[in-house]
Amino acid sequence: MTKAQRTALSVLTLLSVLAYSGAARADWKIDRARAVAAKAWNDPCAGAVDVELGPQAGADWLAWTVPSQCRITLAEREPWSWARLCPVLLHEYGHLAGYTDPTNLLDPHHSSNPNSIMWPFTHADARCAQRGLKYLRARSSGRRAAAA
Ligand SMILES: [Zn+2]
């Protein structure tokens, strides 16, 4: 995605957020997937991530993120089963965390590895198994222990 596209999407997202603010807050799946994604990416935006529903910004887009605003918009027309939602939020939180793959010259904000959650197409992720509970209950890998 070019910078120009990203800027245009920011405007669209802002408009959609104004129209649909708060619409996504009551769903347990969103809360659970946010917790899984926050753990996976070391809590980007210090927990202040807005997840909203809005009109699709692109014909085949499931979600989009404005990192500077800590905002994720989910396509409102998607039914959002857990199996779909959890990997998508894991991916979008990766954008909030500033993920880059410098070896992916055509799209450095995504991975060129189809097994990575940052591959630009959605796929299942083991952290989402059992509705994320096993992953959420697992001890941290130790990277937080050093960051006191
Ligand atoms: Zn992406």
pLDDT digit string (tens) for 26-36? 589 999 999 99
Domain boundaries defined on the chain: 3-137
**71-100 residue pLDDT tens:** 999 999 999 999 999 999 999 999 999 999
CATH (residue range 3-137): 3.30.2010.10
For residue 44, the CA-to-ligand 1 centroid distance in Å is: 15
Q: Please, what is the average pLDDT of the chain?
A: 83
Q: Which residues partner with 91 through β-bridges?
A: none
For residue 148, the CA-to-ligand 1 centroid distance in Å is: 30
Half-sphere exposure of 144 (CA within 13 A, CB side): 8
For residue 99, the CA-to-ligand 1 centroid distance in Å is: 9
- Which residue type is seen at 63? A
pTM of the prediction? 0.77
